[in-house]
A and B are shown apart, each in its own frame.
Chain A
Amino acid sequence: MGLMDKLFGWMKSKKKTACILCIGLDNSGKTTIINHLKSPESSHQDVVPTVGFNVEKFMMSNLVFTVFDMSGQGRYRNLWEHYYKETNGIIFVVDSADKLRMAVAKDELDQLLKHPSVAAKRIPILFFANKMDVRDALSAVKCTKLLGLESLKEKPWHICASNATTGEGLNEGVGWLSEQLQTLRP
């Protein structure tokens, strides 16, 4: 009986699901990242700006991810907070080539962290400093500084430079995220 339980438990944990929210300013590459994570092989198709949000489901490192790919356009950003309560982890994508809007990204991040449903939970946040391939793109360290992540102590976080069109850096980030999800909810 003990053996069977263990076995079942192990099998169940293999099928564990995680609800992830993917947010960030418009044009930062959220949809491109999710598309790449879902099917890395498919040659990158043209993405159009997301309207509202998309829900994607895929398996990654023993976890079933349900990702809410939110639109980053100003008029849709107020949708984000409706999903904070259910989420187990957050992917925050910044366009590291858009220096001008780093301040806007920081403002949105601050509002996210201030939100009661997020402040109350110890959920992992994964940052992608996306578009690292663009000339003059800011490094992950620079992004850390500009987003003020040094002072983010109460949540586990990780930042990766990434290129969503080639998939560079994505696996490292998602690996960290699934590790966090598994340790936080054994």
Chain B
Amino acid sequence: MVAIYITLLQVFILSSIYIKMTSEDQDEKEKHSNWLNAHYDPVAGFYTFSTCITFADLNGDGDHKLVIADLGTGLYNMTIKVLKGTSIIQENTLLDLPTGVTSVYMDLAEPRTPGVVVASGSGLFVYKSMRPYYKYNLPLLPVLPEEAVLWDQANNENLDPLTLAEALDGLKKSHPTSSFTARTSHFLQIENDADARQFVDDHKHKPLKRETVITCVTTIKKSMAEDDAISCIVVGTEHKQVYIIDSEAFTPLQDYEIASVPVIVNVSGLFDVDFRMFAACRDGCVYVLKKDSLQSRVCIELDSSIVGMERIHKHLIFALADKTFSCYTTRGKQIWNLQLPADVLCTAVMDHRAKGFKAVLVGLDNSEVRVYREKNLVDIIKLNDRPQALCFGRYGREDSTLVAVLASGALQVMILKRTAEYADHSSHKGPPMSQKMKLNIPKKTQLFVDQTVRERENGTKMFQNFQHDLQLMRLSVAQTYLKGLQSSMTPLSDDPSMPLKLSATVRGIGPVFQMLLTIENTAAISLNDPKLATGLIVLFKYSDTIYSIKPLVLELPALAPEISYKFAVRIHCIASDRPAQDTITALIVKRGTKKPLVTANISMPVSEGVIVV
């Protein structure tokens, strides 16, 4: 028992030390950031998202460039920009809003330079050495036959625009909006009759096409896992499809249909060997796509829209619109779940290869970027504004660079210090480390083992024996108690008419002692009945060869309830020749009765012998 107390005490002390340490750590962190502010351009004027930023070794010289697909104003001035260090070295105009940028090694030519793929509208625009190289359009979708017939008739002037509009409107009732061509949607938005006529005329000689829109783009390594191995392009579309496209021949290698619109696709594995794709969709579900089956399967259902999905080894980590931050296995089992202090704006993976760990960066609405290793918050980076896009990787010649495009359009570049330490447990809230310390528990002895075996085998018998003995003991206790009550041999009287309590203390070292008797009338006070205990005397029973007591009989006054009366009795130990010790019994008796009310046995201390001078 004592040992347990001591260990508990230790744990307590250790944990208080621990708490002190962590708070100091946090102060420390405020002072020395793990990050160097390498560059800040408040007027960079970028408007982009995490999917539209990437690092790429465009010249194959180890000096990695930053590629940003800029959404311009959101309507025009869309560009793709290449930055080297702190300056823009190249800029190309884009025709449509970019939805994603990725760099792909498309061939084995030396020096190994990747192409940049920009997904925009229904096409992939490929740049090599930052010159337009190829444009690939996703396969067209089938046009509704009814819609095609209507447009055919309109083109041949068999149908005036008004009836065409009515017919198309009618068709819209029986088919989902997404199954119509862009031409129909545009046409139905025209209100003016003349404009409608003009529209039909303008499009007369153009084939009716139904194109899709790319929602996300990523890459999958083809047959080797090296950084500069040839990859295929993975594309998710507005029409609930995921395509894998060969980057050498630009042909679709595989396509999947899923139940919702994919917004983030994360790939693991190699296309030629085996792979798995996790498609986070607008319906808040994550679907798994596998190499050998074209069927998609829901693997995780989330409660809110997915803002960011990152994969760390075999775990998928989600940042949701409702500020939850959670981790799931690829089989869909939740491992942990945290609440973030602010809305999530963007996420990124921090793959620190030199130190061999991966962390998730979460850009929050309070201008912080939080670094989570597993579920432990290991760092907080304060930015100058809300982060709109984050990208971590090798920039220039620095392996661990974080590029953040802020909501104000500013560009902020931070470099992780060489000396930065991201221990697994720092600023980790939870049971103190000392709790995980193993206590030095001795090995089980043979005796212990034998005892255990015996207890296991004879458990029932032992219990019955114990119960039997316990009953016997209770019986004998009850008997003794009853006897005591009957002979008033207790210092307490339970006689309802005369409840009394007697206690005695002995003072002195002998041969003369003083015995102090404390007598109390334990009756409850009541106003109409004084309940006085009257006519009581105290007698002593003792061996008169050892002691003499004065006075022999103590006449008690009337005892009022709830007051303790103290009486002193002088006891002389007369057996002076030897150190004597005996028991003296004090009895309280009522005049005229034979039975004592209360009895107290007082065992006297050993008396000092008389010192003869």
Chain A residues packing against B (C-beta within 8 Å): 25-27, 74-75, 77, 97-104, 106-108, 111, 136
Contacts and interface: CB of A to CB of B under 8 A. Distances in A.
- Considering residues B36, B87, B397, B419, which has the most beta carbons from chain A within 10 angstroms of its beta carbon? B397
Interface in B410-427: 413, 415, 417-419
A71 B543 CA distance: 103
Contact of A101 (B37, B354, B415): B415
B413 A100 contact: yes
13 contacts: A26-B397, A75-B354, A100-B396, A100-B413, A101-B396, A101-B397, A101-B415, A102-B38, A103-B39, A104-B398, A107-B36, A107-B418, A136-B87
B582 interface: no
Contacts of B354: 74-75
A106 to B, nearest CB: 8
B417 A107 contact: yes
Interface in B75-92: 85-87
A103 B415 contact: yes
Nearest to B87: A136
Contacts of A27: 397
Given A26-B397, A104-B36, A104-B398, A99 B419 contact: no
Given A74-B354, A74-B418, A103 B85 contact: no
B399 A100 contact: no
A104 to B, nearest CB: 6
Contacts of A102: 38
Given A75-B354, A107-B417, A99 B397 contact: no
Given A104-B36, A104-B38, A99 B399 contact: no
A100 B38 contact: yes
A75 B355 CA distance: 10
A149 B399 CA distance: 26
A147 to B, nearest CB: 13
Q: Which 7 A-B pairs have the closest CB atoms?
A: A103-B36, A103-B38, A100-B85, A99-B86, A100-B38, A100-B396, A99-B85
B49 interface: no
B57 to A, nearest CB: 14
A98 B396 contact: yes
B357 to A, nearest CB: 15
A55 to B, nearest CB: 24
Nearest to B39: A100
Given A100-B398, A104-B36, A107-B36, 4 more contacts: A100-B39, A100-B396, A103-B37, A104-B398
Nearest to B399: A74
A132 B525 CA distance: 106
B395 interface: yes
Contact of B395 (A100, A103, A107, A108): A100
A98 B397 contact: yes
Interface of B: 36-39, 85-87, 354, 395-399, 401, 413, 415, 417-419
Nearest to A49: B62
Nearest to B401: A100
Contact of A77 (B37, B87, B418): B418
A116 B213 CA distance: 61
Contacts of B87: 136
A98 B401 CA distance: 14
Contacts of B418: 74, 77, 104, 107-108
Nearest to A102: B38
A97 B39 CA distance: 14
Contacts of A104: 36, 38, 398, 415, 418
Contacts of A136: 87
B324 to A, nearest CB: 35
Contacts of A98: 85, 396-397
- Considering residues A25, A26, A103, which has the most beta carbons from chain B within 10 angstroms of its beta carbon? A103
Nearest to A99: B86
A74 B355 CA distance: 11
Nearest to A73: B397
Contacts of B413: 100
Nearest to A106: B36
A108 B417 CA distance: 9
A99 B39 contact: yes
A73 B413 CA distance: 20
Contacts of A75: 354
A102 B39 CA distance: 9
A102 B85 CA distance: 11
B419 to A, nearest CB: 7
A107 B87 CA distance: 22
Nearest to A28: B397
A144 B401 CA distance: 24
A103 B397 CA distance: 13
A90 to B, nearest CB: 18
Contacts of B419: 111
Nearest to A101: B398
Contacts of A108: 418
A74 to B, nearest CB: 6
A75 B415 CA distance: 15
A100 B395 CA distance: 9
A182 B396 CA distance: 40
A25 B418 CA distance: 12
A97 B85 CA distance: 9
Nearest to A107: B36
B383 to A, nearest CB: 16
A34 B401 CA distance: 30
A100 B36 contact: no
Nearest to A78: B418
- Considering residues A97, A99, A108, which has the most beta carbons from chain B within 10 angstroms of its beta carbon? A99
Given A74-B418, A111-B419, A101 B38 contact: yes
Nearest to B419: A111
Contacts of B395: 100
A100 B417 contact: no
B420 to A, nearest CB: 10
A114 B398 CA distance: 23
A104 B420 CA distance: 13
A40 to B, nearest CB: 27
B36 to A, nearest CB: 4
Nearest to B38: A103
A32 B417 CA distance: 26
A36 to B, nearest CB: 22
Contacts of B36: 103-104, 106-107
Nearest to B66: A100
A104 B35 CA distance: 10
Contacts of B86: 99-100
Contacts of B417: 107
Nearest to B83: A100
A100 B417 CA distance: 13
A70 to B, nearest CB: 14
A108 B419 CA distance: 10
- Considering residues B354, B398, B399, which has the most beta carbons from chain A within 10 angstroms of its beta carbon? B398
Contacts of A106: 36
